[in-house]
Structure 1
């Protein structure tokens, strides 16, 4: 029992820190400020469901998939950084705010952003995927595996509740406040993108230099 509690606390602290629901909320607010409350809820739900099943999928088959396709975590970080940078640039230009949106366009927009970039790589990024794989390797019993999946679900639920609450904050800020917040968060997201890319390039460049020697 003590082992389960320790492992559960380890899983919770690492996943909560890596996913960082409070850090995701401002970006989610700016990207969905032009949507209705129902559309915003649908976006958050789709994003968290996608992120949760992605983490579970990588937990059980991550190593096999990475080895089969020859993918490294460093490469995943670089791609995530590029996606973040493009998204941050659009946010910096306030391009994600639309004055009017048709129902069909809104549905497509919700589907687009809920999967990428919200679910992957913002919520379920390289850190969360790597953490899923590593912790699943440490879970040497069925009970520990159940605890890991349970913690993933619990953290995903917390993140969903945080994102759903962001709707009231977005309404309080208004159009001008949302545009200001979007530009600020766009700058931060671009900085995060650079950090992602650099952290991914470091082991790649080190490997190339080592091979050259």
Structure 2
């Protein structure tokens, strides 16, 4: 009975942590602005690819993240700094409404390339699978005391990303209702918010690095 209780407690902890960190509802407006010019099919394709890539990336880091970080001599703080720079560049493009340029072309290859590009970076990494999710996966995998808890952790990650996928798919209907003008307004607004998030990301990673250098 204690083992089952511990499993439920661990699974609930993992679900709460991942859902809060990944924050599908917070990702939705950014996804909407980045895919506003795409068809419903391409938006669905983008959401699917982004969540699948995020899932396998989180799982990969959960099992080997600490080893990789130690091998390459990098830290989560460095990941935050790079994530902040990527976010800032993305936010700047959104503020200039540059992400909607794809709608001016009928070239299917260019649309597919755009979907491929944004679904991996920045949607999958670092938006869905960011430093927080990676760190959380590494810590919880180390805390999992047996194979049952490890399997439960993988299932929890899959469930959270399935919810994320469903939320992003639901964003398509909102995007269609907003129309062209509404999407441009939201794009600029979210661009500003993304740039603020980027600054927070950047300095939350840079501060420990600078402190480490000064103390060293």
1:199 equivalenced with 2:214 (yes/no): no
> Deviations for 1:66-91, whole angstroms, at most 9, x for unmatched residues?
00101100000000000000000000
Q: 1:24 aligns with which of 6, 22, 27?
A: 27
What value does the CA root-mean-square deviation take over the aligned residues? Answer: 0.5
4+ residue runs over 4 A deviation: none
TM-score relative to the length of structure 1 = 0.98
* Partner in structure 2 of residue 163 of structure 1: 168
Kindly state the Cα deviation for residue 140 of structure 1 after the two structures are TM-superposed.
1.3
> Deviations for 1:74-133, whole angstroms, at most 9, x for unmatched residues?
000000000000000000000001242321100000000000000000000000000000
Structure 1 residues without counterparts, runs of 5 or longer: none
* Partner in structure 1 of residue 70 of structure 2: 67
* Partner in structure 2 of residue 100 of structure 1: 104
1:15 equivalenced with 2:37 (yes/no): no
Specify the SS of the correspondent of 2:97.
Answer: coil
Q: State how 1:47-126 maps to structure 2 within 5 Å.
A: 47-98=50-101, 99-101=103-105, 102-126=107-131
Q: Distance in 2 between matches of 1:116 and 1:73?
A: 18
* Partner in structure 1 of residue 151 of structure 2: 146
* Partner in structure 2 of residue 135 of structure 1: 140
1:40 equivalenced with 2:43 (yes/no): yes
Q: Distance in 1 between matches of 2:138 and 2:190?
A: 30
Q: Distance in 2 between matches of 1:198 and 1:63?
A: 22
Aligned residues: 211
Q: Distance in 2 between matches of 1:167 and 1:80?
A: 26
Kindly state the Cα deviation for residue 3 of structure 1 after the two structures are TM-superposed.
0.3
Specify the SS of the correspondent of 2:104.
Answer: coil
Q: 1:4 aligns with which of 4, 7, 14?
A: 7
Q: Distance in 2 between matches of 1:5 and 1:186?
A: 39
Structure 2 residues without counterparts, runs of 5 or longer: none
Specify the SS of the correspondent of 2:99.
Answer: coil
Q: Distance in 2 between matches of 1:100 and 1:38?
A: 17
Q: Distance in 2 between matches of 1:67 and 1:122?
A: 23
